Chains A and B, each alone.
Chain A
Amino acid sequence: MIQDMQPETIVGACKDVTLLLYNELPRRVLYTEIETPYPDGKLIVSTTDPDGVITHVNRAFVEMSGYTEEELIGAPHSILRHPDMPPAAFKDLWDTVSRGEKWQGFVKNLRKDGGYYWVKATVIPNVRKGKVVGYTSVRRKPSRTKVEECIKLYPTLF
């Protein structure tokens, strides 16, 4: 399940927008200009079912997203979708993994407190006995130059 973001959990001055998840499910999103730096040396790991619903997260995921593990498990992965991310990026992600291939890209993620963090993400299909049973994403610390490029590029992709 996914809920609107609540003003009382937001830290700092925020903007307010409604995103359409899955192209049809409205979610009110509150977001600030506060960046949380990626933790050095760590990987952020999550697994979803074939529909993109979260089934597993590691501790670094919980710490960076600001949600509890209970809030994350069973939620669509778009719980982290930031309004600055162009839909084309996620279309490319899903098109790529649906073909059975690996996807890699730079993603700006939204925290529960309205802040954001940049990651370099790799997503792969989990194939068991020839069937796709889910997807796994592993994120690492991105280079600042790559992030700067995305900050310029992404607004042009809407």
Chain B
Amino acid sequence: MKICVCLKQVPKKDSILRIAQDQKWIDERDISYEMSEADAYALEEALRQKEAHGGEVIVISMGPERTRQSIKEALAKGADRAIHLDDPIFEQATDAAGIGRAIAAALKDEGCDLIMTGLQSDDHGFGQVGLIIAERLGMSSATIVMEVQIETGSVRVKRELESGWFQWVRVPTPAVLTIQSGINQLRYATLKGIMSAKKKELREVKAADLNLTADDLKPLQSIERAYVPEKSKQTEFIEGKPAEIAARLVEKLRFDARVF
């Protein structure tokens, strides 16, 4: 079983996000990064399936130099090797179509049985890249997956539907699965893992290696302006020392909202 996991590096959860000067993205200075949450679950699922069935886990990530830190974390957790799409040309691929095209091109000859991605990333949240890869590579697909059972020539997965509904579906391999957060419990990298990661293959891929030009990856949609959303509701902010805040809030809840 050869499983490839697509990882994206995104700003850490607790980052204070400020709009950049050009108002097209966030100000990336002083931001630290981590693996996008759903991708971390996808990696964990791939590692568990490999432990159960044998095989190989390959991680692939597109992004600047800093992305290596997340790639190395994946190797330390147990992935066998990594592909890093690192090229200024890739940085121009800012929509899902371009990102999906580049990753599909890089995986075309890998012969993966499964490709796993997070269901969407925590930054752009396009929720498209996994399926774009599936369509480009002619693979079957299932999205928002909460359980994976590998069979011979196929995979049976539990899909999350809306408001507490689920459905099992079976698709033939090779297949792309987009993984939902909470499918498993994440592991931490061990010291031994971190040490052995240093010896693992980390292949850098340039756009030219994939016969892709900047024109091929030109975004068809782009952010014209990024801004902090306007508040639609008048929130009454209560300020002061904790004890003062508590007293004022209790008063409000008792006499204005009448909740107790």
- Does B associate with A? no
